Chains A and B, each alone.
Chain A
Amino acid sequence: MLTILRDRKRRFVYTGLAPILLLFSLIYVYPIFTAFFVSLHDWELLSKTHDFIAFGNYLNVLRDGVFRRSFLNTLYFTFVYLFFTLILGLGLALFLNSLKKPFQTILEVIIFLPVVTITVAGALVWKWMYNPSFGILNYLLGFLGIEPFKFLASPKIVIPSIIVMALWKWIGINVIILLAGLQSIPEEYYEAAEIDGGNRRSLFVRITLPLLKPTLEYIFVTTILAAMQVFAEIFMLTYGGPGISSRVVAFHIYEIGFRFLKIGEASSVAFILFTFILIVTAFQFRIFKREELY
């Protein structure tokens, strides 16, 4: 009797879930398999023949110096961006947490505003600010007697300049998440530690950081995922230039797929990026899980 009931329940659950699973497969799973299928072919958009070339596209991509540079640029962008997201995000969240309302709310809104601003519009404003001749940044630096920077035109500082813009755009979301994490730590823990003679540093190291760890882990994982796929900022600010100085993998996919129409090769780059992100994410989960055991 119990088994029959359990079977009925299971059937009911599966039937209920079927439409959404179907939709999920259609939107997420089917394109992944299609992209993989396309990546194994010499597939050009607008072309009628698509020869099977197995892993030919993958080999071409790995041998391509422009892809390798794009990949290194992506890693550079990701790790520098991640570092500053964590440091600045945490710093701002701690600062906001120390404020009283309504100042806290006002600053929260100000910091969060860029997140809801359209990236394209934000990038255009930053492009003007970065302008070496009539941009406000060089104008302000001029007061300090500093020579104008070619923010977006110098291969050496172009990626850091884009990182600054990306931080302005996205830091707000991480600050809000970290602030929520900070506010969920019970006050009693701090009071008890203070009675035991804990100073501000030890409170931060022994209470705030450990209890904020799940939030930090979440930000760590999502920031890496987002940064590895950065596109709009690059597209709007530099179009990958000068030369290939700020070219990233997502831009590389766009260019070979939608400008050169080599969708097979673009799919193979997308798969390489997908695999890399998958490995990095799995590795992070494993480390975080292991650390939580003690």
Chain B
Amino acid sequence: MKRLITLLTVIALITVLSVAFASGKKSEEGKVKIAFLSHTYEPWNNKLQEQANAFMEANPNVEIEYSYVMHADLYAKMISSLEAGTAANVIGVYGPWMPKLVNGGFVAEAPPDVVKDIENNYADFGIDAVTYNGKIYGHIQHVGLRTTIINPDMFKELGEKIPDTWSGFAKLADKYSHLSDRVITALEPAGDSVVSQWCTLLKSFGGEILTEDLKRAAFNSPEGLAATRTYLKLSNPAFIGTDEVSAFILGKAGLVMDGPWARTFYEDSTVLERFYSTIPPKEKYRQIASYVWLWAVNTDATDAKKRASWDFVQFLSNDENYLDMAKTIGFVPFREANIRDMSEDMWVKGFAEATEYAFIYYERIENWEEVETVLRRELERTIAEEITPEEALANAETGINKLLQ
């Protein structure tokens, strides 16, 4: 009797599971399911979900499953899922990650219609940013140029004119270093953006990160040293992570460098009365370090999925959606038509103007992440007054040359 009951239970379970599985399959029949991955940033995630819903409404045969992970976890999540063959079909990728993905054959080359759209409608800098080994591999979602954001009231209160050179800002920072309730400038002292912000100064002083053949470090130069010394005066070791942005929002800093995506942080400030984004100050040259965030399509999928993925990416990047994203989140428009549309927007305007001086600060080498980390570590150490700028540049040079060999 017991055996019979067990047998019947097992049969019932199997039947229920098979029916559930079959009905699930039936409902999905004919639908192309796309997994879509990015990092978390609530206003952006909401907008992307909204756009994905609009795409599904227009394309009932496509189902998009959007997921996002913490910013710091995205790379690890993407790499491990690519390695395991479970990666999303459309992935948000930072430019420096691309050489590895392109060389390993993990991301697909854009189809001719997407290439045509990018070539016809994007600014040259944008086209260059998504081109690897002479081929286009994705659509730019946004450009990560960190230009200067100014709180004019702080300078007004101090009776100072806003300088137009980095050295000018450094002099003011020195002059008011005794103030305990505010800082003139707050460049990042530690974290993800130290190297890119420092690169803006390096190039502005006339220095280079690597030699032209990408085989050796080139920053340990008089220009590199001048840029580093100036950077030390412009950054405050107390502001770890994004604390410098918090300080600015609280009216405690006169200048920060930040990206266009941070629009809502600034606009939500209840303390700041006035602020604006502007082209960065100049030293020898006016330069601004940038990176790109792009939508790439995973190669490990059926042709139908890949096609639907490109259609979705194309949809996210069309005039209307791009403009919507630029207006609400603050991204710099990269479609030429959108640049004109946004010329009156005070936040985007500064960034759009700054793109004229933008350069991609990372080199397209597979181990850029490592190179940048070595540089970042040494810069952080000198900002924290653990070592001198000379030692920092020499240490970073040795470490990076070893990596480049």
Q: Is the CB of A242 within 8 A of B82?
A: no
Interface residues of A in 18-34 (CB under 8 A from B): none
Flag if B384 contacts A260 (CB, 8 Å).
no
Contacts of B386 in A (CB 8 A): 155, 242-243, 245
Does A241 belong to the interface (CB within 8 Å)? yes
Are the CB atoms of A242 and B79 closer together than 8 Å? Answer: no
Which of chain A's residues have a CB closer than 8 A to the CB of B377? 66, 241, 243-244
B252 x A245 contact (CB < 8 A): no
Rounded to whole angstroms, the CA-CA distance of A131 and B239 in the bound complex is 7
- Indicate if the CB atoms of A47 and B237 lie closer than 8 Å: no
Chain A's nearest CB lies how many Å from the CB of B369?
Answer: 5
**Given A46-B101, A155-B386, is A242 in contact with B238 using a C-beta cutoff of 8 Å?**
no
* Chain B residues, Cβ within 8 Å of A271: none
In the complex, per-residue mask of A142-164: 1 if CB is within 8 Å of any chain B CB, else 0: 00000010101111000000000
Known A46-B100, A153-B237, A260-B367; contact A131-B243, beta-carbon cutoff 8 A? yes
Chain A residue with minimal CB distance to B238? Answer: A132
Give the total of A residues in contact with B, Cβ under 8 Å.
Answer: 30
Q: Are A47 and B104 in contact (CB under 8 A)?
A: yes
For A132, what are the chain B residues with a Cβ–Cβ distance below 8 Å?
A: 238
For A152, list chain B residues within 8 Å (CB).
Answer: 240
Interchain CA distance A238-B189 in the complex, whole Å: 12
Are B367 and A154 in contact, CB atoms less than 8 angstroms apart? no
B75 in the interface (beta carbon within 8 A): yes
Bound complex: CA of A241 vs CA of B241, how far in Å? 10
On chain B, the residues within 8 Å of A46 by CB distance are 79, 82-83, 100-101, 104, 106
A259 pairs with B75, CB closer than 8 A: yes
Q: Roughly how many angstroms separate A204 CA and B23 CA in the complex, as a whole number?
A: 68
Q: Which chain B positions have C-beta within 8 A of A241? A: 190-191, 240, 377, 380, 384
Total contacting residues, chain B, CB less than 8 A: 36
Q: In the assembled complex, how far is the CB of residue A64 from the closest CB belonging to chain B, in whole angstroms?
A: 10
Which residues from B are CB-within-8-Å of A150?
A: 237-238
Q: Which residues of A contact B104 (CB under 8 A)?
A: 46-48
Q: Give CA–CA (A50, B100) in the complex, Å.
A: 16
Cα A48 to Cα B83 with chains together (Å): 10
Residue from A150, A153, A255 with most neighbouring chain B CB atoms (10 Å): A153
Please tell me if B370 contacts chain A, counting CB pairs below 8 Å.
yes
Whether a CB of chain B sits under 8 angstroms from the CB of A274 is: no
Interface of B is mostly: helix
Contacts of A36 in B (CB 8 A): none
Determine whether B381 belongs to the interface, using a CB cutoff of 8 Å to chain A.
yes
B250 at interface, CB cutoff 8 A: yes
The answer to whether residues A133 and B79 also contact, given A241-B190, A260-B370 and a CB cut-off of 8 A, is: no
> Which of A242, A254, A255 has a CB less than 8 Å from the CB of B384?
A242
Query: Within 8 Å of chain A (Cβ to Cβ): is B373?
Result: yes
Contact bitstring A228-245, B, C-beta under 8 A = 1, else 0: 000000010011011111
With both chains docked as a complex, state the minimum distance between the C-beta of B82 and any C-beta of chain A, in angstroms.
Answer: 6
Q: Are A153 and B373 in contact (CB under 8 A)?
A: no
- Beta-carbon contacts of B371-387 to A below 8 Å, as 1s and 0s? 00100011011011010
Q: In the assembly, what is the distance between CA of A135 and CA of B56, in Å?
A: 46
B158 at the A interface (CB under 8 A) = no
Give the distance in Å from the alpha carbon of A183 to the alpha carbon of B82 in the complex. Answer: 53
In the complex, A148 Cα to B237 Cα: how many Å? 13
Query: Residues of B contacting A134 with CB < 8 Å?
Result: 246-247, 250, 252
Cβ of A107 under 8 Å from chain B: no
Q: Flag if B241 contacts A127 (CB, 8 Å).
A: yes
Shortest Cβ gap from A259 to chain B (Å):
5
Is B378 a contact of A243 with CB atoms below 8 Å? yes
Chain A: minimal CB distance from B375 (Å): 11
B18 interfacial by beta-carbon distance below 8 Å: no
A46-B79, A131-B243, A132-B238 in contact; A243/B369 too (CB < 8 A)? no
CA distance A194 to B377 in the complex (A): 60
Q: List 25 A-B contacts (CB under 8 A).
A: A46-B79, A46-B82, A46-B83, A48-B104, A131-B238, A134-B246, A134-B252, A152-B240, A153-B189, A153-B238, A153-B384, A154-B384, A155-B386, A238-B190, A238-B240, A241-B240, A243-B380, A244-B381, A245-B386, A258-B75, A259-B76, A259-B370, A259-B373, A261-B79, A261-B100
User: Apart from A241-B384, A259-B75, what 13 extra A-B contacts exist at CB < 8 Å?
Assistant: A46-B101, A47-B104, A131-B238, A131-B246, A148-B238, A242-B190, A243-B377, A243-B381, A245-B381, A254-B76, A258-B75, A260-B367, A260-B370
